[in-house]
Amino acid sequence: MAETLVPGITLTITKTVGHNETAAAYGSGLHDVLSTPAMIAFMEQTAMKAVEAFLDQGEGTVGTEVRVKHLRATPVGRLVTFRATLAEVSGRRLLFTVEADDEKGRIGEGTHERFIIDNERFMTKLREG
């Protein structure tokens, strides 16, 4: 396991809300606004990418918990900035604060937990059932 993982590691990713990320497309609502599942997926992706360069060869992370509030709707075409900051490292457990903002302000916030795994061992266990 990488020794360089320390609280404070941050990554910011900007995405444009497309029709594939809407509540209507996900089936989680009727409107062409960023869906909560898509917002959470982008938050998880940002957290995952924030630490991947700090992991040892053959390691990855898996999400295990999400506690997020979706505060405001964001229409198609608007830019959203997703930010993940590593807040806590406890062995293989990583806790992130996650945020999402569009040009009007905060649209989502919360925490996301990930665990460091050995990718090969993880896939072997899946295959074995």
Which residues form the catalytic set? 36, 44, 70
Q: For residue 46, what are the CA distances in angstroms to 27, 30, 42, 107? A: 23, 26, 6, 16
Residue 58 DSSP SS3: coil
d(CA 58, CA 124): 13
Cβ partners under 8 Å of residue 102, min gap 6: 74, 78, 79, 80, 81
User: 107 near 80, Cβ under 8 Å?
Assistant: yes
Per the listing, tokens 């996650």 go with 98
**Partners of residue 62 on adjacent β-strands:** 115
